[in-house]
């Protein structure tokens, strides 16, 4: 399964994985508002990977299969960096 990863330009160390390049139609509008402006950073075949840097690959694959996206948020956020929150 091809996977496309985008980095939020609004939220520190926050990434969105989707299954179709530049197609955010499966991502809830509320999440896209919070995720904000973004930039494409990489493409890879997730079925060819055994692990990912920080995320559990099974969770990412499951989320992509079930909902069409996976949100990766930072483990910790340095002081002074805004957190991803609903307003």
Pair of tokens at residue 87: 């307003």
Q: Which residue has the tokens 């079930």?
A: 66
CB atoms closer than 10 angstroms to residue 36: 12
pTM: 0.84
Identify the bridge partners of residue 4 per DSSP, sorted by sequence position: 18, 43
In the structure encoding, which two tokens stand for residue 82, read together? 């805004």
Third-level CATH fold of 2-72: NE1680-like fold (3.10.510)
pLDDT digits (tens, 9 = 90+) for 29-70: 999 999 999 999 999 999 888 888 889 999 999 999 999 999
What are the sequence ranges of the domains in the chain?
Answer: 2-72
The predicted structure's pLDDT at residue 49: 85
């Amino acid at each position: 399964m091809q996977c496309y990863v985008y980095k939020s330009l609004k939220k520190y160390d926050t990434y969105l994985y989707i299954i179709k390049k530049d197609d955010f139609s499966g991502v809830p509008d509320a999440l896209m508002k919070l995720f904000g402006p973004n930039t494409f950073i990489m493409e890879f075949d997730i079925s060819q990977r055994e692990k990912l840097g920080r995320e559990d690959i099974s969770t990412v694959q499951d989320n992509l299969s079930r909902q069409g996206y996976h949100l990766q948020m930072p483990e910790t956020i340095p002081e002074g960096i805004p957190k991803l929150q609903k307003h």
